[in-house]
Amino acid sequence: MLSDSVSTLRDAGFTAYIHPVTMPIPTLMRSAIREPSVEALLLRLDALTRERQDLRLDLAGARKLEQNRLAIVEAQWDLSHALIRRYLPAAA
């Protein structure tokens, strides 16, 4: 069965169940837990962009720049989904 090194479920007539959701659960949970406004996300992107400019002026290391880049990517992702939620017509 499940603990066997070779699955015997197929032999018993069971087929594998493939979950239809392809996105990781934490991503689904994150969007369900917090949904900041478009305006708040624009302010966050503005702050992160200014922070990146300051990091570059201060000749920050690669690790700090990468952390900032990832924060910008996450904020852009959140903004795109907030815009979709705002402007996508509701299903009839």
pLDDT in tens, 1-56: 445 555 555 555 545 545 555 555 555 555 556 689 999 999 999 999 999 999 99
- Looking at residue 69, what is its pLDDT? 96
Going by C-alpha positions, the residue among 72, 77, 76, 79 that lies closest to residue 37 is 79
Which of the four pLDDT bands, split at 50, 70 and 90, describes residue 89? confident
pLDDT at 1: 46
CA dist list (Å): 67 to 23, 30, 55, 64: 23, 19, 11, 5
